[in-house]
A = this chain, B = another copy of it.
Amino acid sequence: MRPSGRKTDEMRAVSIETGITRHAEGSCLIRVGDTHVICTATVDEKVPPFLRNSGLGWVTAEYGMLPRATTTRMRREAAAGKQGGRTVEIQRLIGRSLRAGVDRVALGERQITVDCDVIQADGGTRCASITGGWVALRLAVDKLMKAGAVTVDPLEIPVSAVSCGIYAGQPVLDLDYPEDSEAGVDGNFVMAGDRLIEVQMSAEGATFSRGEMDALLDLAVTGSAALSAAQLAATGR
């Protein structure tokens, strides 16, 4: 029995509200259950030094949490003077995941920075960030295409992510915080359609079999399809 009463293959309610800030080229507020993340995409006509005159674009990401997004207040990273290891790991994952779904030649020599800031956390913030981050990216690219700066669409199909884990002996889809803190084995699955982009499975103080891994992958495929549909709906496709 899941704490939320959900079925093992049931995702939390997903909503994606777009255009939530005036300034960003693309933005959304994604809600996956009680996990709420603001995602914005900023277009910059300059690329990092290693790409100058390459003709290739770049997509990068940054991640943060409001101090009281969590049950107890966390120290503000700006005040602590550095981003923690978890933050660094997550924002590198978001960047890699989104880049995998981009045709960097079609994007042209410009950079898009996706910022994901968690307003409220209930497990799965990195997955919600990837899913919402793609929506912000999509909207920023739409704007570039409308303006004629980009002519071939550099984004094919949505990139989304979901976490699955073994909770109380059962493979379950889309872990919330009570499940996540109990699961010995869990994984984050980043997908584009039926293709995989990133699989991160780990076992805190435990191990898992290939069979268990396959069961979680099966769930991830289900979740990813639902998320992609929400992403397409939110971006008017």
CB-defined contacts of A66 to chain B, threshold 8 Å:
38, 40, 64, 115, 117
Q: Does A199 contact B (CB under 8 A)?
A: yes
A80, closest chain B residue (CB): B78
| Interface size of A as a range | 35 or more
- For A202, the chain B residues whose CB sits under 8 A away are 96, 197-199
Q: Across the interface, do A120 and B82 meet the contact criterion of CB distance under 8 Å?
A: no
Q: Which residue of B lies closest to A39 (CB)?
A: B68
Contacts of A44-103 to chain B: CB distance below 8 A: 44, 62, 64, 66-71, 73, 76-83, 85-89, 91-92, 96, 99-102
Q: Which residues of A contact B (CB under 8 A)?
A: 21-24, 27, 34, 38, 40, 42, 44, 62, 64, 66-71, 73, 76-83, 85-89, 91-92, 96, 99-102, 104, 113, 115, 117, 119-120, 122, 187, 192, 194-210, 213, 217
Identify 27 residue pairs between A and B in the complex whose beta-carbon atoms are under 8 Å apart, listed by A's number.
A21-B120, A27-B68, A38-B119, A40-B67, A62-B76, A64-B66, A66-B117, A67-B113, A67-B115, A68-B115, A73-B115, A81-B82, A82-B82, A85-B88, A89-B89, A99-B204, A100-B205, A101-B207, A104-B205, A187-B199, A195-B208, A196-B203, A196-B207, A196-B210, A198-B201, A199-B201, A200-B201
